[in-house]
Amino acid sequence: MYVLPESLTLRNARLIGDELITLYKHKSKVTGQARETTLDFSHLQDLDTAGLQLLLSTAKTFRKSDCPLKVINLQSPLEELLKLSGAGDIL
């Protein structure tokens, strides 16, 4: 499980992306295959377009490798934002 920080914006999107890819590679190495990865949104309060793009590209990358992302503890305002942007179906 990966707990997202309070803020996922242009300032930290690259770092978070690198951490998610490292998590994915570690899971693949340990288990011999990638498995579902859980993203915990419980702390996330601030999301900009760079953060949203990171989440979408990460979901696409993981899905192509048969390693779906599971989203938990998504707060209502962020859930609504994801639905309005069309990202809710992807995540």
Residue 31 domain boundaries: 2-85
CB burial readout 78-87, b (16+ within 10 A) else e? beeebeeeee
The count of structural domains within the chain is: 1
Q: Per-residue pLDDT for 90 more than 80?
A: no
How does residue 33 score in pLDDT terms, banded at 50, 70 and 90? low
Q: What is the pLDDT of residue 28?
A: 67
User: What is the structure's pLDDT at 34?
Assistant: 59
Q: Would you give the DSSP letter of residue 32? A: S
Answer whether residue 91 is part of any domain.
no
Q: Tell me the whole-structure pTM to 2 decimals.
A: 0.84
Task: Give the other-Cβ count within 10 Å of 58's Cβ.
Answer: 20
Nearest-angstrom CA–CA distance, 2 and 57: 16
Higher pLDDT, 33 or 38: 38
CATH at 42 = 3.30.750.24
Express each pLDDT in 38-88 by its tens digit. 999 999 999 999 999 999 998 888 888 887 788 999 999 888 888 888 887
